[in-house]
Amino acid sequence: MTTDVRHVAGNWDTQFFGSFATAELPDYTTVNVSAQYDLTDKVVLTGRITNLFDEEYSDVWGYAKRGRAAYIGVKAAF
């Protein structure tokens, strides 16, 4: 299992609406997790969840990032 915690603070951007001022974006923290499980010697079940706590954030004024997402897959070798 893998966990990725990212905290972003002190990010500045120019607002291209309203006052057009350069302002600091809100701080945010996101958590991503992933895991894999060997079903057999040749078949592996994989999964991951991005933005586990569905944090609302933006790296650029006016552009939101993706919300929570889950992915599941199977890897097989023949």
pLDDT digits (tens, 9 = 90+) for 2-49: 999 999 999 999 887 777 788 899 999 999 999 999 999 999 999 999
Is the alpha carbon torsion for 60, 64, 67, 73 positive or negative? negative
pLDDT at 20 (0 to 100):
79
Residues 6+ apart with CB under 8 A from 37: 44, 45
pTM over 0.85: no
pLDDT at 77 (0 to 100):
94
